[in-house]
Structure formats: C-alpha cells, structure tokens
C-alpha cells in the first residue's frame, strides 16, 4: 500500500512525519527554507516488525544541486549531495511500468 501526502509549506514549519521517505519538490527553495524543508526527511522510523527506514529520496524539479548545497553549508560544513539523478529516470520508469501491463491508462 502506498500513501501519498500533498502539502504546501507544511514541512517548513516543523511538521514531523517519520514515515516520510521521499519528497518531490516543485518550487524554488533557498537558505534556511531549503534546509528546513529537506531536513524533514531525516527522521528515523522503525515499523512494528522492526524494519528501519534506511534511505530517503528527493526528486527536485526546480532547484539546482549547487544552490541546495550552498543553502546547507552555513549549518553543515561538510554538506554533500550523494548523487545527481538522470533527469529522464521518471520517464524510463514510466515506460517500464507501462510495458509490464500492471495497470491500464484508465486506471491512471
């Protein structure tokens, strides 16, 4: 089961959701706003079965990696970005899912 939560500025005001593991950014972030928003992902979580959330993902449609790195530097002197994703990764995944026939266009 997948649960999706859509929010507007809520993660910038201290909202805490430890289950959050992915964030899709569609607006410009800078300075402390970028740090507060993206830091919502670093909450730990353990399921009732003992599974621990190990990775988080950000898919940013707007901001440049260097701008996000610069926003974190005043607070985290060794801030790094692990990887920069192929911009077509979503299109490739969509094509694979479509070919698998798991769902129909009407269901989407």
Greater confidence (36 vs 46) lies with 36
Q: Is the pTM of this model over 0.75?
A: no
pLDDT band at 40 (very low <50, low <70, confident <90, very high): confident
pLDDT in tens, 49-107: 887 777 778 888 899 988 988 898 888 777 666 666 677 777 888 888 888 888 777 87
Average pLDDT for 35-53 = 78
Residue 65 has what pLDDT? 87
The two structure tokens encoding residue 97: 């899912």
Task: Tell me the C-alpha to C-alpha distance, in Å, between residue 67 and each of 31, 43, 72, 81.
Answer: 9, 23, 9, 11
Tally of residues, the chain = 108
Helix 31-38, helix 65-72: angle, nearest 10: 90
């Amino acid at each position: 089961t997948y649960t999706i939560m859509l929010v507007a500025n809520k993660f910038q005001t201290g909202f805490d959701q430890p289950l959050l593991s992915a964030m899709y950014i569609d607006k410009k972030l800078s300075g402390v706003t970028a740090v507060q928003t993206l830091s919502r992902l670093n909450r730990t979580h353990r399921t009732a079965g003992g599974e621990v959330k190990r990775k988080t993902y950000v898919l940013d449609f707007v901001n440049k990696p260097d701008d996000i790195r610069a926003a974190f530097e005043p607070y985290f002197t060794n801030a790094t970005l692990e990887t920069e994703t192929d911009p077509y990764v979503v299109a490739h995944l969509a094509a694979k899912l479509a070919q698998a026939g798991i769902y129909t266009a009407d269901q989407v």
